[in-house]
């Protein structure tokens, strides 16, 4: 399907080594053991402490000097990042290994970039403003959602502005990524749902993006198919390995779209839900996705109908009917994951709509990717639809 952007050049920035498969934790250990400089700093999530212990033991036995940092749970803030980078500096690592969910990987990526870099974080928010990274960087995701292990993005909460801020840079793409779906089996149903819906949103927003491109469409549409087929199964039974493997692929495909195409209005409007009301990132996206999908479809009906069909929606009598079937599938998928769709049920009052809309409009780096312009009153209307 042609888009206005088809003829533009597209740039994929990917890890030099991408390993996907059951048990590839062993490949990650082998990779780290053969590094010429063997000072390794692990940034790991608490949920993965047993795996982190195993990594420490094996790497130490192989002659590596290993330090470990477990960031506080929850999404990272500027303050927690500054503390983490200070701790990492003492270890003087040649390589940072991030192992955990998207928040942990984002933290690991930023720690690697800033551990020996005089630049201040404030000057790096935005696209292409991070100047360099000298430290090695390896990422292993243990949830299926952000695709952070292959993306140039990292997000921090600015507690003062109550806004999520992003660093987007080629220097944040890890040198190597190891995706082992067996590591995701122990993820709770709630986190599986929220992260999986984030992966789905990445794929939907890539395919319907103003800058959609055939090279990214391949990943985006297949990611939509996989998430639609496997997400509820993974939520209902964490040990359904086919579902876990399918969601790991959906997450990877979404992540591969983040660099060259990136997200759009769903993520922009979700940021205030995370920034002010601390909703998990994936949940915030899931609550907004159907309303934004409906809003955007007017500007790119064929693309939205294609997503609807990839979601498994019944074809309608015309394009917009197919789109509407797709909206129903999205809503049903979210509910089948056990999530309430109404923002009020998540502690967000209606009176927050005007200020959330204003905050969302500041995220122009994503809104400019949206297939349809979002005005302040559009943003208010979209939020209002999420209260019914
Ligand atoms: Fe996301």
Count of alpha carbons within 13 Å of 328, Cβ hemisphere only?
A: 12
Q: Report yes or no: 387 and 341 within 8 Å, Cβ to Cβ.
A: no
Instruction: Using DSSP, state whether 220 is helix, strand or coil.
Output: helix
106-144 tens-digit pLDDT:
999 999 999 999 999 999 999 999 999 999 999 999 999
Same-domain status, 127 and 258? no
Same-domain status, 77 and 202? no
User: What's the 377 CA to ligand 1 centre distance in angstroms?
Assistant: 24
Same-domain status, 157 and 204? no
Domain boundary among 153, 184, 215: 184
Same-domain status, 166 and 265? no
End-to-end CA distance of the chain: give it in Å, rounded.
34
Say if residue 2's pLDDT is above 70: no
Same-domain status, 111 and 258? no
pLDDT reported for residue 373: 97
User: What's the 16 CA to ligand 1 centre distance in angstroms?
Assistant: 23
User: What's the 86 CA to ligand 1 centre distance in angstroms?
Assistant: 27
Same-domain status, 91 and 111? yes
Which candidate, 281, 258, 264, places its Cα nearest to that of 157? 281
Say if residue 1's pLDDT is above 70: no
Domain boundary among 184, 204, 229: 184
The CATH number assigned to the domain holding 93 equals 3.40.50.1970
Instruction: Using DSSP, state whether 222 is helix, strand or coil.
Output: helix
Share of the chain above pLDDT 70, in %: 98
Same-domain status, 175 and 272? no
Same-domain status, 180 and 197? no
Say if residue 4's pLDDT is above 70: no
221-277 tens-digit pLDDT:
999 999 999 999 999 999 999 999 999 999 999 999 998 999 999 999 999 998 889
Please state the rounded mean pLDDT for residues 184-206. 96
| Average pLDDT score over the chain | 94
pLDDT reported for residue 278: 87
pLDDT reported for residue 161: 82
pLDDT reported for residue 163: 80
User: What's the 282 CA to ligand 1 centre distance in angstroms?
Assistant: 6
When divided into structural domains, the chain yields a total of 2
Residue 58 belongs to some domain of the structure: yes
Backbone angles phi, psi at 65, to 5 degrees: -100, 120
- How far is Cα 156 from Cα 341, in angstroms, rounded to an integer? 25
Sheet with 126-127, strands from edge to edge, namely 126-127, 163-168, 153-158
Q: Report yes or no: 101 and 195 within 8 Å, Cβ to Cβ.
A: yes
64-81 tens-digit pLDDT:
999 999 988 778 999 999
Backbone angles phi, psi at 340, to 5 degrees: -75, 135
Residue 5 belongs to some domain of the structure: no
Say if residue 3's pLDDT is above 80: no
User: What's the 134 CA to ligand 1 centre distance in angstroms?
Assistant: 26
Same-domain status, 284 and 171? no
Q: Report yes or no: 263 and 369 within 8 Å, Cβ to Cβ.
A: yes
User: What's the 202 CA to ligand 1 centre distance in angstroms?
Assistant: 6
pLDDT reported for residue 7: 67
Residue 3 belongs to some domain of the structure: no
Same-domain status, 143 and 208? no
What is the token pair recorded at 120?
A: 């201040």
User: What's the 152 CA to ligand 1 centre distance in angstroms?
Assistant: 13
What pTM did the predictor assign? 0.94
pLDDT reported for residue 6: 59
User: What's the 199 CA to ligand 1 centre distance in angstroms?
Assistant: 7
Domain boundary among 164, 184, 204: 184
Share of the chain above pLDDT 90, in %: 90
Same-domain status, 270 and 377? yes
Say if residue 316's pLDDT is above 90: yes
List, as ranges, residues with CB under 5 A of the ion ligand 1: 198
Cβ burial of 10 (10 Å; 0-12, 13-18, 19+) is middle
- How far is Cα 254 from Cα 206, in angstroms, rounded to an integer? 8
Provide the angle, in degrees to the nearest 10, between the axes of the packed helices 319-336 and 189-207: 160
User: What's the 59 CA to ligand 1 centre distance in angstroms?
Assistant: 32
- How far is Cα 210 from Cα 161, in angstroms, rounded to an integer? 28
User: What's the 305 CA to ligand 1 centre distance in angstroms?
Assistant: 22
Domain that includes residue 75, residue range: 17-184
Residue 9 belongs to some domain of the structure: no
């Amino acid at each position: 399907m042609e888009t206005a952007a088809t003829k533009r050049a597209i740039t994929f920035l990917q890890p030099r080594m991408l390993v996907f498969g059951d048990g590839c934790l062993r490949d990650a250990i082998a990779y780290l053991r053969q590094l010429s400089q063997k000072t390794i700093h692990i940034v790991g999530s608490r949920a993965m402490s047993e795996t982190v212990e195993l990594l420490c033991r094996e790497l130490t036995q192989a002659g590596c000097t290993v330090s470990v940092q477990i960031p506080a749970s929850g999404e990272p803030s500027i303050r927690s990042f500054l503390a983490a980078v200070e701790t990492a500096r003492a270890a003087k690592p040649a390589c940072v290994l991030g192992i955990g969910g998207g928040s942990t990987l984002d933290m690991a990526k930023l720690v690697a970039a800033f551990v020996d870099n005089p630049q201040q974080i404030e000057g790096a928010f935005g696209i292409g403003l991070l100047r360099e990274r000298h430290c090695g960087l390896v990422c292993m995701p243990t949830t299926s959602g952000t695709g952070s292990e292959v993306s140039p993005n990292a997000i921090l909460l600015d507690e003062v502005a109550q806004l999520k801020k992003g660093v987007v840079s080629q220097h944040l793409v890890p040198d190597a990524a190891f995706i082992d779906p067996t590591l995701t089996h122990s993820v709770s149903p709630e986190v599986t749902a929220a992260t999986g819906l984030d992966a789905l949103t990445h794929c939907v927003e890539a395919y319907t993006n103003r800058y959609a491109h055939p090279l990214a469409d391949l990943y985006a549409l297949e990611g939509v198919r996989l998430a639609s087929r496997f997400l509820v199964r993974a939520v209902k039974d964490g040990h359904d390995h086919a579902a876990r493997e399918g969601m790991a692929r959906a997450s990877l495909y979404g992540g591969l779209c983040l660099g060259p195409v990136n997200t759009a209005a769903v993520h922009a409007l979700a940021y205030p839900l995370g920034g002010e009301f601390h909703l998990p990132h994936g949940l915030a996206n899931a609550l907004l996705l159907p309303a934004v999908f409906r809003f955007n479809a007017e500007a790119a009906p064929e693309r939205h109908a294609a997503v609807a069909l990839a979601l498994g929606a019944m074809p309608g009598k015309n394009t917009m009917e197919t789109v509407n079937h797709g909206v129903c599938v999205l809503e049903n998928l979210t509910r089948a994951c056990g999530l309430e769709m109404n923002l009020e049920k998540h502690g967000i009052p209606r009176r927050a709509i005007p200020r959330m809309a204003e905050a969302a409009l500041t995220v122009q780096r994503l809104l400019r990717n949206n297939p349809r312009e979002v005005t302040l009153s559009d943003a208010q209307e979209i939020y209002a639809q999420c209260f019914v």
